[in-house]
Amino acid sequence: MAVHVRGNEYDLLMSNDLNDRSANSNTTQWFHFAVWNAQPGVTYKLNLVNFSKPASLFGDLQQQLASLMLHCSLRLPPGQPSPVVRSLLCYTLTGQRCDMLTITDFAASATELSSREYVVITARVHPGETCASWIAQGAVDFLVSDDPLAQRLRRCFVFKLVPMLNPDGVVAGNYRSSLAGVDLNRCWDKAIQQLHPTIFHARKLLEALVDAGRLALTIDIHGHSSALDAFFYGCEPLLVKPTAAERRETKAAAAAAAAAAGSVLTALAVGRLAESDDQQLLAV
C-alpha cells in the first residue's frame, strides 16, 4: 500500500500474509515493487516503512526482481517432438491448477523409459520468493532446449518439475503463507490433503519414486532474504547424536553432495556447463 505523504514523497507499507497463523502473525517481506506513471526527471522519495527483517538482502532493494509470475513459458526447439508433457498435480484450495511438467526424451523405448531415474524440481512454496520462479523458468527453458547437454540429460533422466507449489499464496500476494495461513514448507512431514494439497501430492510423488528406487535427486528452489549468492542446504539425518569425528565426516559428505547438486542446478539454471564438469553431472 502506498500512502501519499507530501509532494513526491510516499510511505510504502507491506500487507501481512492473508490468514497468517504464524507465531507473530506478521509474515511479510519485500522482494519486489514497481512504480507506474513516474515523470522523467522528477525525484521521488519512497519510505519503506514496515520491514520485518531490516538487515536482510532485499531490505536495501539491491534486488529488483521480476513481478509475480503464475505462468511458466516454454520455448521448444522447432521440428522436434515435444520433450515435455504438462499434467495436473492437484488443485489448490481456491481451485487453482498446480501443474507438473514431465521432461524427458520420450522417443526412447518403453523398457528404457521404465529404467530411467527421476530428478524432481519444485519451486515457489514461499510465494514471495519470485527469484525461485526465475530459476525454475531457467531450468525449464534449458531442459526443453536443443542444447546437446539438455538432450543428454533428457536421455538420462526423467525430470518432474512443479514450478509453483503455492499458487494460492501468490494470488493472495502473500510472502510466505498459503491461503490457509500456514507455511507449506513446514508441512512436508504432516501434509493433509484437504489443507495442504500441493505438498500432500508432491510428497506422494516423491514417496512413490523412493519406493521404486528411482529418485536420483530432488531440488526445492527458494530465495533467501539474508544469505548471499547461490547456496544449498542438504539433509543430514541426525537421528543419533554424532561424535565430533562423525560430525566432521557428515559435514564433508554434505559439502560433497551440495557441490554435486550445485553442478546440476547451475547447469539447469544457467543452461551452460563446462565440459570438465560434464562427467560429474552425469554421475550424480
Contacts with Zn ion by CB under 5 A lie at 126, 129, 222
Distance separating alpha carbons of residues 190 and 183, to the nearest angstrom:
12
**What is each CA distance from 221 to 31, 135, 165, 253, in whole angstroms?**
16, 8, 10, 21
**Cβ atoms < 10 Å from Cβ of 164:** 28
Q: Of 94 and 226, which has the nearer Cβ to Zn ion?
A: 226
Q: Of 17 and 129, which has the nearer Cβ to Zn ion?
A: 129
Q: Of 187 and 273, which has the nearer Cβ to Zn ion?
A: 187
Q: Of 83 and 167, which has the nearer Cβ to Zn ion?
A: 167
Distance separating alpha carbons of residues 159 and 218, to the nearest angstrom:
10
- C-alpha cell of residue 66: 521480476
Shortest Å, Cβ 207 to Zn ion: 22
169: CB partners within 8 A, 6+ apart: 17, 126, 127, 176, 177, 178, 179, 184
> Would you mind telling me the total number of residues written for the chain in this entry?
284
Shortest Å, Cβ 82 to Zn ion: 31
Shortest Å, Cβ 222 to Zn ion: 3
Shortest Å, Cβ 129 to Zn ion: 5
Local structure of 177: helix, strand or coil: coil
Shortest Å, Cβ 30 to Zn ion: 14
Shortest Å, Cβ 226 to Zn ion: 12
Distance separating alpha carbons of residues 273 and 263, to the nearest angstrom:
8
Q: Of 92 and 225, which has the nearer Cβ to Zn ion?
A: 225
Q: Of 214 and 222, which has the nearer Cβ to Zn ion?
A: 222
Shortest Å, Cβ 195 to Zn ion: 19
Distance separating alpha carbons of residues 184 and 125, to the nearest angstrom:
6
- C-alpha cell of residue 284: 550424480
Q: Of 22 and 250, which has the nearer Cβ to Zn ion?
A: 22
Local structure of 121: helix, strand or coil: strand
Q: In what order do the strands lie in the sheet with 45-48?
A: 2-6, 9-12, 45-48
Q: Of 128 and 197, which has the nearer Cβ to Zn ion?
A: 128
Local structure of 219: helix, strand or coil: strand
Shortest Å, Cβ 69 to Zn ion: 16
The secondary structure element, H or E, covering residue 160 is strand 157-162
